[in-house]
Amino acid sequence: MSRQLLALALAPLLGLFILGIGNGFLATVITLRLDAAGESAAVIGWVSAAYFIGLAFGAMLNDRMLLRIGHIRAYGSFASLVAVTVILQGLVETPWAWFFLRLIGGWATVGVYLVIESWLLASGDARVRGRLLALYMISLYAAGVLGQLLLGVTEAMGGASSFMVIGMLASLSVLPMAMIPQFTPMIEKAEPLSPLRLVMLTPTGVMGSFGSGLIVAGVYALLPLYLQRAGFSVDRVGQMMAVVILGAMVLQYPVGRWSDRHDRQLVLILISAFCALISAAVLWLPLNSWGLAGLLFLLGGGVFSFYPVALGHAADRAPAGALVRMSQGLLLINAIGSALSPPLISPVLGKLGDAGLFWSFGALGICLLLFFAWRRSVRPAPMPVAPFHAGTPMTASGAELVITEDLVKGATEHEYKEDLTDLVPDVEVAEPLVGPPLLDETCVAHYPESDDSEEPVQHALPGIESIETYLAVSEALEPG
């Protein structure tokens, strides 16, 4: 990883990392608190869905604030709003109050994501886009790992301690953006990008974002419930969720680097197949806690890679002026998938039991695999364009137009060295009428030494009368 690549993203990623530590275990805290209060799976699903509904609304509206006030001030505004909503959840512990607070929190959180993603997409070109987005996801997931490890500590304190810690972290996340010197991307007039145009431009990117929302929201909202009902304690649930996010963090950069060097559509196909296989292994293999942890590690590395690869694929096909609106559109699609995930998967758990979660993950992986394979057959990746290098034309007509430095030098030497006296021996060149005198004749006059008159000087310097007239007029015009 180059220093230049890291310098492009240091301030926004550090701020995201601090915010993500708290945001990473907030969903787990809410799920466990509601389950401990005796709420049904449907209520838990709807409260979880409220966050993603807020993501959808924010993805439709937040670009206007970003384009109006810039990246840094927009980030500070959104992060502060996240802190306020989280602290209020610790003060008011009722499901419907949490529903509305999670709705507002989702709206603010997607604003943070929009700031970071548009910053990174505008800072790098297609050659490093996958790695920049991988660093973005690594920061988010590394924070999630630390957050899950904090879950047991803050919950042991009791009361509203978890919410207070999360709120403080959200407030502190503003400091890197405000204090670290950086060059913010220039925001030019954004090109309009309607949802229909986005779908026509990159159906693979749209479906990848939607599928990522479905699976990742299921992991965050319902996997803790699956683990708790499987007999894991609160500490163990936090550790297992940390393993999932650790897998996402460790495998993110290799996948991003791989997508920079290969067709991103092919990468999405392989990720889909990988997720389906891991889900089948969880369902059918006899596993102890260590085996389950290993599979969850791999599952995290797969499902959390969908969105950055899909985003990179879409950015490769989007006009430069439409990157902010494209990022906004894909965040909206991702949020819609996230909002639909708990209500869609919860009934499957009711019908098939806790194993219905991984049946859902496997089915989603197969559907995405089929869609990406179909799109690749219809619209393969464009051929890479080689960088321009000036070269010598190989055709005869092109070779006639090549003027090299050696050719110019040879022509110049030939021009100065050619002797034309033999060709025109009897022609006398007349003295030029205009132009400066030659160097050896400048201001030279030949006159007898005995002649004391000024006439020879005047003949040698024919403009002397004009100079004397000018000096006389100047003296007459001087004041005093």
Reported confidence tier of residue 83, pLDDT bands at 50, 70, 90: very high
pLDDT tens by residue, 52-72: 788 778 877 777 777 777 778
Higher pLDDT, 6 or 26: 26
Answer for the pair 201, 209: CB distance below 8 angstroms, yes or no. no
Domain assignment present for 44: yes
pLDDT at position 144 is 76
Position 108 scores a pLDDT of 92
pLDDT at 189: 56
- Kindly state whether residue 438 falls inside one of the protein's structural domains: no
Mean pLDDT of the chain: 76
Q: What is the pLDDT of residue 259?
A: 82
Does residue 188 lie within any of the structural domains?
Answer: no
CA distances from 382 to 66, 175, 232, 310, 317 (A): 32, 42, 48, 16, 10
pLDDT band at residue 190 under the 50/70/90 scheme: low
The total of structural domains in the chain comes to: 1
pLDDT digits (tens, 9 = 90+) for 198-243: 888 889 999 999 999 999 988 888 888 888 888 888 778 878 888 8
pLDDT of residue 423: 44
Q: 90 near 164, Cβ under 8 Å? A: yes
Amino acid residing at 48: S
- pLDDT tens across 97-150, in order? 899 999 999 999 988 888 888 888 777 666 777 778 788 888 887 887 788 778
pLDDT for 24 = 76
- pTM as predicted: 0.64
| pLDDT tens digits along 346-372 | 888 888 888 889 999 999 999 999 999
Q: Is residue 148 part of a domain?
A: yes
pLDDT for residue 125 = 63
> pLDDT-based confidence at 87, cuts 50/70/90?
very high
What domain range includes position 34?
8-181+202-378
Q: What is the pLDDT of residue 321?
A: 65
Average the pLDDT over each of 167-171, 426-430, 469-473 and give the range with the smallest value. Answer: 426-430
Q: For residues 235 and 149, what is the distance between their CA atoms, to the nearest angstrom?
A: 8
Question: Under 8 Å CB-to-CB from 286, ≥6 apart: which residues?
Answer: none
Q: Which is it for the CA torsion 336, 215, 160, 231, positive or negative? A: positive
pLDDT surpasses 90 at 274: yes
Which tokens belong to 147? Answer: 């957050």
Where residue 281 sits, what CATH number does that domain have?
1.20.1250.20
- Within a domain: residue 466? no
Q: Which one has a higher pLDDT value, 321 or 211? A: 211
- pLDDT level of residue 188 (50, 70, 90 thresholds): low
Confidence tier at 327 by pLDDT (50, 70, 90): confident
Cβ partners under 8 Å of residue 83, min gap 6 = 167, 168, 170, 171
Q: Single out the residue of 102, 101, 100, 134 nearest to residue 117, CA to CA.
A: 134
Q: Tell whether 187 is covered by a domain.
A: no
Query: 400 falls in which pLDDT band (50, 70, 90)?
Result: very low
Within-domain flag for 104: yes
Residue 48 lies in a domain: yes
Residue 408 has a pLDDT of 43
* 85 has pLDDT over 90: yes
Q: In whole angstroms, give the CA distance from residue 15 to residue 75.
A: 9
pLDDT at 282 over 60: yes
Q: What is the mean pLDDT of residues 13-37?
A: 86
Read off the tokens for 320: 């430069």
Higher pLDDT, 313 or 186: 313
Q: Count how many Cα atoms sit within 13 Å of the Cα of residue 319 in the half-sphere of its side chain.
A: 11
Residue 405 has pLDDT above 80, yes or no: no
pLDDT at res. 252: 83
